[in-house]
Chain A
């Protein structure tokens, strides 16, 4: 650790991993409710479990991004973070907000209250006061990192990272705008949801991946930056108008079907580029970095993001296909592998890279960590397959044959059982990851031969 203030990242990562545990356990519970629908239905209805599962995912990913930014910005800008105090204040606000969200959801407090009650828009259900807290935290964060970068060295990686983080905060502002008209409500809702995961988050992903490649493979910065610019251009080119693929059936004009289909088909390009980038850098790289776990997660990230976000997204992005598949388990399959591949793997990659440094444990190989990669990834890939099969059958029975939703659900029950099994593997993998990060002290299988850093 070159800079003292990088230490901030440690707390962020710790909280993120705690929420990660809650997220996967919530997922497991939701998966069980799918096979045994009345389980805890009075105590914790399915919609609340699902909310906890998705919201904790988003919050922990964000905390991971913030942690990653606090970790890599000092190294890139070659100076300490502007203010450590602000960074911890920001975290405190986010933690209080998260706790508030959990309590509000679980006990359904203040239902319907404009400020304190949950708002009931998928993913952005948070009560208004929490949303306001998120904005304050985001502003504190942006002020803090932007000041650091402005006063220090500017690199392509920090520029793109900041562009992504600023975009993230700006897009979130649409969460406050909730028009009466349901079509408009959805339209703006996607400004947050889509422009995050298929827009600005991709910039964050590309820049963190670029940083990892720079450190792990020792390829020249110039080469890394060229890739980074191409990836970012492709992501924004396809992703912004790709929002149209959510506007097929919400009441927006028909031309969105073509805009959405064409642009979102190209969304596969940046993900392919990120995968190619990761592998080409490793082949070209001269450095045999001892942190094999971080490398494994980075390559896994590129690959699984390409399949989950790119291929599985393309599967149902054309409006002619989506007309039938919309809102079936195919969406769930895509959602799981896309979030896992792109953003979970990315966060676990940077955490695998940073934690040994932050805790003065490098170099060590993190064999347990690598085992957790294979457990989690194979579990998630299996889950994606079974949900895809379930979704295909569901699409046919429900949308082509016109059978009733609940009758179809009964017929695909086998897949929900297999999905639960896959979920168990993912949870074991996740808990193993957290254990591997938190506990073992020394574990060196091979030291690797490190070429001098750039």
Chain B
């Protein structure tokens, strides 16, 4: 069929990863919107609950994750200029930083558990656990994907992996101010 090239063809990378990224952003976006809506009904309770969160740890985690995203982006660049070893090293480092993120996050969860705080404690913590829990699950998936594309290091694979990882990054960068900082 002699068709005009569709707009979709201009997307970098695979179509399916964009379908996933948009779906994920819709879910996290809806989750954050619901969080903000419920917050309106109890601003004082939410502010009080928010004070239990470990803001410094989360800020540190932001730096960890953004650095990791940077490494994933560099990996694609290096792979494209045929510096395979360097690219692989960058991907493994990115995945390692993902693990660091999870450790810091795990310490935060452990701290909450020690205080007897769980997802059923109140509305704020329901959202806190849902949003950060879902995000952490994506970090786990992202680490696996980064390791997979380290192994099968075709540039297109690395691009897809990096796209997924940036999505995880992006979600955290939005989630962090809304859940931890918004006063």
Q: Could you list which residues of chain A lie within 8 angstroms of chain B, going by C-beta atoms?
A: 219-220, 223, 226, 229-230, 233-234, 237-238, 253-255, 258-259, 261-263, 265-266, 269, 284, 286
Can you list 20 pairs linking A and B with CB atoms under 8 Å apart? A220-B1, A229-B16, A230-B16, A233-B16, A233-B20, A233-B23, A237-B20, A253-B119, A254-B120, A255-B119, A255-B126, A258-B34, A258-B126, A259-B130, A261-B34, A262-B34, A266-B23, A269-B23, A284-B1, A286-B1
Cα-based distance from A24 to B26 in the complex (angstroms): 39
> B78 at the A/B interface (Cβ < 8 Å)?
no
- Give CA–CA (A226, B120) in the complex, Å: 42
Contact of B30 among A230, A237, A262, A286 (CB under 8 A): A262
Interface size, chain B (Cβ < 8 Å):
17
B119 touches A258 (CB 8 A): no
Q: Which residues does chain B contribute within 8 Å of A284, judged by CB atoms?
A: 1
B27 with A230: CB separation less than 8 A: no
Q: Which one, A229, A233, A238, A254, contacts B126 given CB within 8 A?
A: A254
Q: Which of A220, A233, A266 contacts B26 (CB 8 A)?
A: A266
The answer, among A219, A230, A238, for a CB contact under 8 Å with B15, is: A230
| Cα–Cα, bound, A190→B72 (Å) | 40
Contact of B19 among A233, A254, A261 (CB under 8 A): A233
User: Per a CB cutoff under 8 Å, which of B16, B30, B119, B130 touches A265?
Assistant: B30
Within the complex, the shortest CB–CB distance from B4 to chain A, in Å, comes to: 12
Q: In the complex, what distance in Å separates the CA atom of A212 from the CA atom of B120?
A: 48
Q: Which residues of A contact B127 (CB under 8 A)?
A: 258
Query: Contacts of B1 on A, CB cut-off 8 Å?
Result: 219-220, 223, 284, 286
Is the pair B130, A258 in contact by a Cβ cutoff of 8 Å?
yes
8 new A-B contacts, CB < 8 A, other than A230-B15, A230-B19, are A226-B15, A233-B16, A233-B20, A253-B119, A253-B120, A254-B126, A269-B23, A286-B1
Shortest CB–CB separation between residue A183 and chain B, in angstroms? 15
Q: Which residue of B lies closest to A286 (CB)?
A: B1
A258-B34, A262-B31, A266-B27 given as contacts; is B19 within 8 A of A234 (CB)? yes
Interface string of B19-42 (1 = CB under 8 A from A): 110010011001100100000000
Q: How far is the CA of A219 from the CA of B31 in the complex (A)?
A: 39
CA distance A263 to B23 in the complex (A): 10
Within residues 107 to 156 of chain B, which ones have a CB less than 8 A from any CB in chain A? Answer: 119-120, 126-127, 129-130
Inter-chain CA distance A292–B126, complex, in Å, is 52
Produce 1/0 per residue, B40-78, CB < 8 A to A: 000000000000000000000000000000000000000
Q: Which residues of A contact B120 (CB under 8 A)?
A: 253-255
List residues of chain A with CB within 8 A of the CB of B23: 233-234, 237-238, 266, 269
Shortest CB-to-CB span from B13 to chain A, Å, is 15
Tell me the smallest distance from the CB of B8 to a CB of chain A, in Å. 8
A269 CB contacts on chain B under 8 angstroms: 23
Distance to closest chain A CB from B109 (angstroms): 15
Contact of B31 among A220, A229, A254, A258 (CB under 8 A): A258
In the assembled complex, the CB of A259 is this many whole angstroms from the nearest CB of chain B, namely: 7
A412–B31 Cα distance when bound, in Å, is 37
Compute how far the CA of A254 lies from the CA of B1 in the bound complex, rounded to whole angstroms: 52
Residues on the A chain within 8 Å of B130, using CB: 255, 258-259
Nearest CB to that of B24 among chain A residues?
Answer: A237
Query: How distant is B126 from chain A, measured CB to nearest CB, in Å?
Result: 5
Are B34 and A255 within 8 A (Cβ)?
Answer: no
Instruction: Give the residue among A220, A234, A255, A261 with the most B Cβ atoms within 10 A.
Output: A255
Chain A residues, CB < 8 A from B27: 262-263, 266
Q: Which residues of A contact B16 (CB under 8 A)?
A: 229-230, 233
CA distance A330 to B121 in the complex (A): 33
Residues on A with beta carbons closer than 8 Å to the beta carbon of B129: 255
CA distance A219 to B16 in the complex (A): 21
Nearest to B1 among chain A residues (CB) is: A220
The CA-CA distance from A233 to B119 in the complex, in Å, is 29
**A254 to B16 alpha-carbon distance, docked (Å):** 32
Tell me, rounded to whole Å, the shortest Cβ–Cβ distance linking A77 to chain B: 24
- Give the Cβ gap from B71 to chain A, nearest Cβ, in Å: 28
B16, B27, B120 interface centre (most CB from chain A within 10 Å): B27
How far in angstroms is the closest Cβ of chain B from A282? 14
